[in-house]
A and B are shown apart, each in its own frame.
Chain A
Amino acid sequence: MTVQEIIEKKLADNFNPLHLDVINESNNHNVPEGSESHFKVVVVSPAFAGKNLLSRHRLINTTLADELKNSIHALAIHAYTEDEWNETSGGAPMSPPCLGGGK
Chain B
Amino acid sequence: MDVLERIDQIVKSNPVVVFMKGTPQMPQCGFSSRTAQALQACGKEFAHVNVLMDPEIFENLPRYQDWPTFPQVYINGELIGGCDITLEMYQKGELKKAIDEAVA
Contact = CB atoms under 8 A, between A and B. Distances in A.
B10 to A, nearest CB: 20
Report the contact-size class of chain B (Cβ under 8 Å from the partner).
20 to 34
Contacts of A91: none
A77 B81 CA distance: 11
Nearest to A67: B68
Contact of A54 (B30, B52, B81): B81
A98 interface: yes
Report the contact-size class of chain A (Cβ under 8 Å from the partner).
20 to 34
Contacts of B52: 101, 103
Contacts of A93: 84, 87-88
B24 interface: no
Contact of B30 (A53, A57, A99): A99
Given A97-B30, A103-B21, A61 B68 contact: yes
A100 interface: yes
Interface string A19-50: 00000000000000000000000000000000
Interface string B26-45: 01111111100000000000
